[in-house]
């Protein structure tokens, strides 16, 4: 059997939720489990994060699956409904859609649900992606309140730079100033805002990345935040090559040896979810010690430097990210984000659960 596998820790996710709660204060916690729980598996995340006050997903299908799994907490649809035909399902499954565009209000008015539903009204405070204009808040809120299919309203926005030095005040303060007179609950904090900006908590917080043990910040590690990695991607060396001075390895011969050296070939490639654009120098663990990738990642294999590992050979364990090697460090070295690495885990990679 091909040796690559991903190990998912239920205990780590549960621990990270407790960390989120410690920062949330009195706010309730939506555990964001979209994109197959950031690659960790929706069913696993549902069990690991069972203590959350609610779950947040992208699609009606994800929400329906959570209900089939026995989830009774509120479920937030982060992009709302994608057609009027989905409104009835929101009432049937007790889903809370995010409304961010006038057409969604039209659908709700034209096809009111069998029983009123809770909705989140999303306002654009500066990210300029989804949301009603802040300037239109009074009219939008009044229109929503007038709809017989609406049982309650929570106000919402999303931050563009919560993970950067710029912070959230340039968005949060206008949002609070405009919304303060309505006396409605509100939600704004993602992982970064929850960890760094207590004023952004509101009534609901929406942690995602931190639940899986990755840091949203470039200047602070997950360990410094008290987080534990939930996913470890690991494989083994399946072949060893010796390069002479000037010889190259892999497609394009992008890496050439400056001296005689040993190279390990690892059973992991971009078809497994490892980033093809990871260049020479991306970190790996070989026998528990730091090494680096060499040359171009191929579909099923990548190469690692064994110059300082005389005892390494066929069968030696290699950790691509996870325990002992934070996914954030790998992402930086590969010129990408931890979000992309975690979400890109391929279906062909076997998954094992750990406590």
Going 20 to 23 to 26 to 27, the CA torsion angle's sign is negative
Q: Which of 5, 122, 251, 339 is catalytic?
A: 251
Residue 34 annotated in active site: yes
Residue 251 annotated in active site: yes
Which tokens sit at 278? 């990871």
Q: Which of 34, 38, 197, 270 is catalytic?
A: 34
Cβ 222 vs Cβ 19: under 8 Å: no
Residues 316 and 327: their CA atoms lie apart, in Å, by: 21
- The alpha carbon of residue 47 and the mean position of all alpha carbons in its chain are separated, in whole angstroms, by 17
Which tokens sit at 154? 């929570």
Cβ 349 vs Cβ 3: under 8 Å: no
Give DSSP secondary structure letters for 221-239. Answer: -TTTTT---SEEEEEEEEE
Residues 237 and 304: their CA atoms lie apart, in Å, by: 9
Task: Just list the catalytic residues.
Answer: 34, 251
């Amino acid at each position: 059997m091909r040796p690559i596998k991903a190990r998912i820790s239920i205990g780590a996710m549960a621990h990270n939720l407790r960390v989120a709660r410690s920062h949330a204060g009195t706010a309730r916690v939506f555990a964001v489990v979209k994109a197959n729980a950031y690659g960790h598996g929706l069913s696993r995340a549902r069990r690991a994060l069972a203590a959350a006050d609610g779950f947040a997903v992208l699609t009606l299908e994800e929400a329906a699956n959570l209900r089939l799994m026995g989830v009774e907490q509120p479920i937030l649809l982060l992009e709302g409904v994608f057609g009027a035909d989905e409104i009835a399902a929101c009432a049937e499954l007790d889903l809370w859609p995010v409304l961010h565009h006038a057409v969604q209000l039209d659908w709700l008015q034209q096809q009111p649900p069998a029983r009123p539903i809770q909705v989140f009204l999303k306002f654009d405070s500066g990210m300029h992606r989804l949301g009603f204009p802040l300037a239109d808040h009074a009219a939008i809120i009044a229109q929503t309140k007038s709809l017989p299919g609406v049982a309650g309203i929570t106000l919402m926005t999303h931050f563009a730079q919560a993970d950067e030095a710029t912070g959230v005040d340039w968005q949060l303060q206008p949002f609070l100033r405009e919304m303060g007179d309505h006396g409605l609950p509100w939600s704004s904090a993602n992982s970064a805002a929850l960890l760094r900006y207590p004023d952004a908590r509101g009534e609901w917080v929406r942690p995602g990345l931190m639940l899986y043990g990755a840091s949203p910040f470039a200047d602070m590690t997950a360990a410094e935040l008290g987080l534990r990695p939930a996913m470890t991607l690991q494989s083994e060396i399946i072949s060893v090559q010796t390069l002479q001075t000037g010889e190259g390895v892999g497609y394009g011969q992008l890496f050439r040896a400056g001296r005689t050296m040993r190279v390990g070939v690892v059973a992991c490639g971009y078809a497994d979810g490892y980033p093809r654009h990871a260049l020479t120098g991306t970190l790996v663990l070989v026998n528990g010690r730091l090494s680096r990738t060499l040359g171009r990642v191929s579909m099923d294999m990548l190469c690692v430097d064994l110059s300082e590992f005389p005892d390494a050979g066929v069968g030696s364990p290699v950790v691509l990210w996870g325990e002992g090697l934070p996914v954030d460090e790998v992402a930086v070295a590969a010129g990408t984000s931890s979000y992309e690495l975690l979400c890109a885990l391929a279906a062909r990679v076997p998954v094992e659960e750990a406590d």
